[in-house]
Structure 1
Amino acid sequence: MQVSVETTQGLERRVTISIDAAQIEQQIEQALSQESRRARIDGFRPGKVPVSVIKKRYGAAIRHDVTGQAMQRSFYEAIIQEKLNPAGAPALQPGDTKDGEFSFSATFEIFPEVEVSGLDAIAVEKQVATVNEKDVDAMIDTLRKQQATWKETKGMIKNEFRVNLDFLGKIDGEEFEGGKAEGFDLAMGAGRMIPGFEDGIMGKKTGEEFTIEVNFPEDYHAENLKGKAATFDIKLNKVEKPELAEVNEEFVKLFGIESGELDALKAEIRKNMERELEQTLKAGVKEQVLAGLIEQNEIDVPAALVSQEIEQLRKQAMQRFGENAQNAPELPDELFTEQAQRRVRTGLLLGELIKVNELKADDEKVKQHIASFASAYEDPTEVLEHYAKNEELMNNVRNVVLEEQAIEFVLDKAKVTEKEVAFDEIMNKQGAN
């Protein structure tokens, strides 16, 4: 077998392989003979179909299959011989048979050579925060709002009130599509409407009719409305204000605290908030570490791996449509390309970091990770047993822990500063993202 390797562009390689044509012909004859013993053709006894008949009927297909298998085998022998590491399936192109040699080419991408460096140049700001009593009280207020009842009021509209209204939008005195509604419920402060709409309603009362002037944002989704000045004729049908749920035994039991004790609810809330805070802080550090790795280590990424990652991201996005996924529009590659490239880069860099430094998932950290995850469930023991019996789930956890250990490895060498931040500042920032 003769092999030549050519760099076509970037990570793409074209391997030209020549193999003994007589070997392929011999394999084709063997395949024809085997098929003659298996074939069932009218007019011939089972196992007695002449090879000439098989060749006439199935010869082209058998030649195609045998040649394809020979190319696949020879390709894998060639990449081992040449020490090439393909990043995706090859495109095989049959060539000619000349001087007893059958030649073909295989075009594919290889994994880039990765060398991770510059860890000491990565700057990470590690935010430090705690959950205090004020944060817990604020969460209880949020729960009270979620359980609020609505009471009609004749007073002026304020933030967090609920308004039922009719409106009619116009641009240059003409109505426009989507600019009219009757009996529309609007939660004040939710930010559902364009800027200026809620401001124009604030302070008004039930029964009032008036006109407001607003401007559609320049980045508004409807092309014909971008940046346009508009008026809205508004009639307020009903105004309701929230009456927060009273914090009592009944309220506490709504959240699974059978004792009905407020202190028990606060303890549960604090535990959940601390777990969420820890996850958010770790995610922020991880994001900075990965960004630093990419900045310090420029590498080419195989298009084949990026395409695979785009497909994964597209599937995840389609799942969010739920039952409406079948009717959802086809999501173009461009929506995911940048994120996919980033994922592939970070995967290659972390993989090399783990390999070179011989990092292994710490068994104790694996147990802690599962225990932390299980604690969010009603029966943590059942979750722990489920994981213990499922090797695939255990491997997933090991991979997560190994990635966390790689992040810690980088942090030990990076320039890390700490900054104290309030709990609500961190969580509000996460919500905005």
Structure 2
Amino acid sequence: MQVSVETTSNIERRMTIGVPAQEIDQAVQKRLQETARTVRMNGFRPGKVPMSVVKRRFGDSVRQEVVGEAMRDNYIKALQEQDINPAGYPQLEPKVVEEGKDLEFTATFEVLPDIELGDLSKVTVEKPVTEVTDKDIDKMIDNLRRQQATMKEVKRKSKNKDIVTLDFKGFIDGEEFEGGSAEEHRLTLGSGQMIPGFEKAIVGGKTGEEFEIEVTFPEDYHNEELAGKPAKFEIKIHKVEEPQLPELNAEFFEQFGIQAEDEETFREEVKKNMERELKQAISNKVKNDVVDGLLETTELDVPAALVDQEIDRLRQDAVQRFGGQVDFQQLPKEIFQEQATRRVKTGLLFQEVVKQNDLQADDEKVEEKIQEIASTYEQPEEVVAHFSNNPDQKAQIESSVLEDAVVDHVLAQAKVKEKKMKYEEAVQAGQSQG
């Protein structure tokens, strides 16, 4: 086998590979002999078809099969011989395939990029600083109660947190606009579902009332045709309902998986859950700032094959989330292009930080993370045993701990700015980044 390698770009290589004619021709001959022993043709007894007839009938297809297998096998041997690690599958193209001549083909493929990490001291990270207050817990418990609330129709004027059933019809410059109308729409006042000013203008309305309100679409509204424009809405209220909140008792607590006999114990459990969520949100925010910093300070060519693989994973995840009713390949690749590219770049950069600094997944931190996950379940010891007996699951934890080690390494050199935030702001920052 003869091999030559050409560098066609930073991450693309083209190998030209030659395979002796004797090797190919012998394989073709062997395959034809096997075919002759089993083929059935009119006018000939089984196993008695002349080789000349078999070759004339099956020679081209057999040679095509042999050449395809030879290209795949010799491509792999060539990679090992040249000590090349490809990223994704190659494009194999035969150049010479005639009988009696050496097989010659090219393999065009991508390789992982050589990465020169940027100056980590130029990475800037904003770390939220906050805590869970009694007011935050009160609001969370109120939200939980409202999730379980029953509704009671009232005849009084509506107020915030009431649910109003209404019709509305929107006009701009006296003309109805698309998407600006609805009938029997249930709206929780004060929820922020509608554009600024809409819900506030409904507060005080009663069942049976009809009136007009005037609002202005935000300048950054997602529909550019409506952004910044004043609008009028005709409103008709059909019903005003007041939520009837459940009592804080053991039956209510149990609906959220919390075994508690009194409100104080329930509050403590809610606080623990909120603190876990806050910790994860801050971790997400910091990690994504680290990723942003690495991407900004390091130039990186990304193998298209890896991006395509990541796009397929994202498409499959999307299909599963929506019930798996469609073939993931029907989803346009372009929707996932940016996210997939970022993920691949992040993976390559993290691998480089690990390699250059010989980072390891610390056993104690792996155990801590397993215990942390287990603590959220009713039978934590079963969760710990599950990870202990499932190498694949434990490997995912080790990978997560190794990512944390990369983040810590970058943070040690980066500019870290602490920013005071309220609980909800910190959680939202982590969610929007995660």
Fold-level match, TM-score > 0.5? yes
Q: Which residue of 2 aligns with 1:363?
A: 363
* TM-score (norm: length of structure 1): 0.88
Q: Deviations over 1:337-395 (max 9, x none)?
A: 12211111111111122123222222222222122112222222222222222222122
Query: Any unmatched runs of 5+ in structure 1?
Result: none
Alpha carbons 2:190, 2:200 under 8 Å: kept: no
* CA contact 1:152–1:238 (8 Å) conserved in 2: yes
Contact 1:171–1:231, Cα closer than 8 Å, also in 2: yes
Cα distance in 1 between the residues matched to 2:392 and 2:276 = 25
Structure 2 CA distance for aligned equivalents of residues 174 and 246 of structure 1 = 48
Q: Check conservation: 1:16, 1:105, Cα contact below 8 A.
A: yes
Provide the C-alpha distance between the structure 1 equivalents of 2:131 and 2:195, rounded to a whole number of angstroms.
36
Task: Write the distance in 2 (CA, Å) between the matches of 1:227 and 1:206.
Answer: 31
2:129 maps to a residue whose letter is V
Amino acid at match of 1:200: A
Tell me if the contact between 2:10 and 2:113 (Cα under 8 Å) persists in the aligned partners. no
Change (3 A) 1:209 1:409: same
TM-score, L = length of structure 2: 0.88
Correspondence 1:36 to 2:36 = yes
Establish whether residue 164 from structure 1 lines up as the match of residue 165 from structure 2.
yes
SS at match of 1:314: helix
Residues 181-196 of structure 1: pairs in structure 2 closer than 5 A: 181-196=182-197
In the alignment, what sits opposite 2:13? 13
Aligned pairs for 1:22-421 (under 5 A) are: 22-39=22-39, 47-96=47-96, 100-170=101-171, 173=174, 175=176, 178-214=179-215, 230-322=231-323, 325-326=325-326, 330-421=330-421
Q: Deviations over 1:298-354 (max 9, x none)?
A: 11111111111111122222222226x439994322222122111111111111221
Structure 2 distance, partners of 1:327, 1:92, is 28
Q: 1-side partners of 2:49 and 2:342: how far apart?
A: 58
Report deviation, 1:249.
Answer: 4.6
Q: 1:196 offset after TM fit, Å? A: 4.0
SS at match of 1:260: coil
Following TM superposition, by how much is the alpha carbon of 1:25 offset from its aligned partner in structure 2, in angstroms?
Answer: 0.9
Cα distance in 2, alignment partners of residues 53 and 221 from structure 1:
70
Q: Percentage identity across aligned positions?
A: 50
Amino acid of the structure 2 residue aligned with 1:304 = A
The count of aligned residue pairs is 432
Q: CA RMSD in A?
A: 3.0
Report if the CA contact (8 A) 1:151-1:240 is conserved.
yes
Rounded to whole Å, the distance in 1 between the matches of 2:198 and 2:137 is 33
Counterpart CA distance in 2 for 1:274 and 1:205 is: 41
- The range that moved more, 287-296 or 414-423, is 414-423
Structure 1 CA distance for aligned equivalents of residues 154 and 8 of structure 2:
74
How far did residue 66 of structure 1 move? 0.8
Question: Secondary structure of 2:355's partner?
Answer: helix
Distance 2:204 2:328 in 1: 40
- Could you tell me which amino acid in structure 2 is paired with residue 399 of structure 1? S
Amino acid at match of 2:272: K
